[in-house]
Amino acid sequence: MIIFQPTRGDDEPPEEVIELTAPPPLEDLQQRIGGYIQPVPHLKTIEVCGGVYQCVAFCNEEGKFKQMPFNRRATELWRLAIERETEHEVHMRDILVGPLVVIVGDDELLGNL
């Protein structure tokens, strides 16, 4: 599990990486997101450590309503995932705000989320 926090200014906070042996409990995801979770559509792959991996990503369902800060890194990861899926350049019309939780794993782990 990788948590991407929104940036403030030019500082890129490091990603927090947590190794999983089972799907995280809903309460843990809600705590890390700061509220109700929502799957991020089309963010099904992520490029990390020189490879592209299957994933499931979650953001805060009410993030924009709560005026959470823009998450530039998460929005870029989302755009790249859509481009890998569609094989076309994408110009984003939407953004992600607040923390992004990305769970990377095999089909069994991702299927149990």
Q: What is the pLDDT of residues 47-91, one digit of tens each?
A: 988 899 999 999 999 999 999 999 999 999 999 999 999 999 989
- The CA distance from 84 to 8, in Å, is 28
The residues that bridge with 38 in the sheet, in sequence order, are 59
pTM (2 d.p.): 0.90
φ/ψ of 79, rounded to 5, equals -60, -45
φ/ψ of 110, rounded to 5, equals -65, -30
Q: What is the pLDDT of residues 9-50, one digit of tens each?
A: 666 666 889 998 889 999 999 999 999 999 999 999 999 888
- Contact between 4 and 73 under an 8 Å Cβ cutoff? The reply is yes
The residues that bridge with 58 in the sheet, in sequence order, are 39, 101
